[in-house]
Structure 1
């Protein structure tokens, strides 16, 4: 059954209380301390492409548990001096693909790191990073290890996303003080999660974010990924309390509350994958728990007649102009 899109004035006021475990901050502090104890770069080697205007390197960095995570590092060929960098996170079921598939940011003059999603590739795009950690849960990535927050797939993936920022800062030709994170859908949720776990980002760009207000999202959306959680609970009815407890550690609204960097949001009001109210929950509370007297700058672009695709090229143009005004890329 379809529902009419929500009224914008209701969304602008939507600010739910997201229940956090008492050890939320300690959980992430311990998780990241274990990861950052290892050197971040494992291997960096030039990658031949058929694009003479693009420099490309095949990067492996140490993610959660020291697991090797793949990424493409690209930048304008021949660019001089340290460049501002964009770390990009891919959507659910996608891998890093081939280096010529994501050209927007290096063509715009940025150093660009595209992180592979561990264990997820093959549904929508190719990748080559496995997720070797098994735990009780369902058959889909969003349900892997969902009965215990320490076993959960998104504990690992969010840790990888934080380590990707550390990796790009360690790469040659990057201005480590000017690093932005960007993503759409799952990638947008990862960008928000990182915004609350890395306190010196230059900017955050998120579109149609996943991982936000997750209890509500699972109740509203029947499509993957949230629908996969609902399907799991339809079979494992006794697991509901454990599932909500696990999800409370990775809810991007809680993490975004701790953010300090300027943020740019995009949301389609007819989004049935990531309900717009859940993205507004993150926007309305972004930076509210950072402890700073003045919350970080934020802006949102709403597309009333678009769904999960959002504003597409129009929104990307807005992202480029917004980020370019804050980070001066090459060219």
Structure 2
């Protein structure tokens, strides 16, 4: 039986999470999706000014590179790298409708979409690939802000003061979750993409965004989250693991609620952006990767979301691994996405 520092494996398989779910959670996300539907994405697709390595010029034999700009809620202008397969690469995955599948990727906390090179294998296999820069993090997407309270550090707590004052729509991750959906819808509308053959994937923050996106856009066919972040915040606190990626939770309490008089209200407010509460909406087939020694996104928090998924699902376990590279998992995800 796999070992875990967190709780027994039998308990993990039954765990349902402890972070409170706000009473108006479903209405909150209904309103959010209505706002998104009223937001014109106004996409702009421009050939990338890519200084590619030898053999990857501006007109390679299997891929083209584009800077994709689009608009999210609040008017934020957002960026994604987009790689389009061409020639035989495109033909390889086209269906009877002459359209092919796409994979949308989400990056880790505070990072960016990274290098073009990491998408080339998927493009050569016939996938259109879009990689998002999360608003206000390490890439080009803007965060238009407009929240009360501090913005000293951390996106989990951005907008928390507003939420505690009755304006939970100001939470940063509400906008970020909606950005993932907006990007998927832009990709679905591309004339060479089959909207019924869309996969989403990401690690850590990207894993949390993968689950949120699949929950809020039910047309997504496959989702591959790896050790998802942004789930069961109160469990993280209970385990005294509010450090590293979750350090901002500890900082917020130390600065703004040192006696924890608002603790219940804080975790209830964070419940709006807790992906475990969105997970039951997922229709996609799910492949999740989990390291059972993960002290950054503890296994129990990941299982809080996984256990609520009602669609076809499986988890690949790494008993001796934490929040790190999981050998062979990239290949497992590719094999999974080849089913699109």
TM-score range, shorter chain: 0.7 to 0.9
Q: Matches of 2:33 and 2:126 in 1, distance apart?
A: 31
Distance apart, 1:100 and its partner CA: 2.6
2:116 counterpart of 1:93: no
Which 5+ residue runs of structure 2 have no aligned equivalent? 92-97
For the residue of structure 1 that corresponds to 2:35, the secondary structure is: helix
Describe the shift of the 1:72–1:311 C-alpha distance in structure 2 as closer, same or farther (beyond 3 A).
Answer: same
SS at match of 2:209: helix
Range with bigger deviation, 195-204 or 78-87: 78-87
Confirm or deny that 1:228 pairs with 2:257: no
Where 1:45 maps in the other structure, the secondary structure is strand
Higher RCO (CA < 8 A, seq sep 6+): 2
Structure 1 spans left out of the alignment, 5+ residues: 122-126, 288-295
1:145 alignment partner, one of 145, 159, 166: 159
CA, structure 1 residues 160+69, in 2 after alignment: closer, same or farther (shift >3 Å)? same
CA distance in 2, matches of 1:218, 1:54: 45
Residue 297 of structure 1 corresponds to: 312
Counterpart Cα distance in 1 of 2:277 and 2:170: 19
Give runs of aligned pairs for residues 150-299 of structure 1, distance below 5 A: 150-220=169-239, 221-237=241-257, 238-287=261-310, 296-299=311-314
- Equivalent pair of 1:76/1:110 in contact (CA under 8 Å): yes
Partner residue, 1:130 = 142
The yes-or-no answer on 1:66 pairing with 2:75 is yes
Identify if the C-alpha distance between structure 1 residues 102 and 236 changes in structure 2 by more than 3 Å, giving closer, same or farther. farther
Q: Deviations over 1:122-173 (max 9, x none)?
A: xxxxx11121113213422222112212111101111101111111112231
What is the CA-CA distance between 1:310 and the residue it aligns to? 4.9
In structure 2, the CA distance between the partners of 1:181 and 1:32, relative to structure 1 (3 Å rule), is same
Q: What is the RMSD of the two structures over their aligned residues, measured on CA atoms? A: 1.9
Quote the offset at 1:283 in angstroms.
1.2
SS at 1:255 equivalent:
helix
SS in 1 for 2:79: strand
Structure having the higher Rg: 2
- CA offsets 1:54-111 (integer angstroms, 9 cap, x no match): 2111111111223211001112232244210111111101122342344443243211
Task: Give the 3-state SS of the residue equivalent to 1:41 in structure 2.
Answer: coil
Please tell me whether the aligned partners of residues 109 and 205 of structure 2 are also in contact (alpha carbons under 8 angstroms): yes
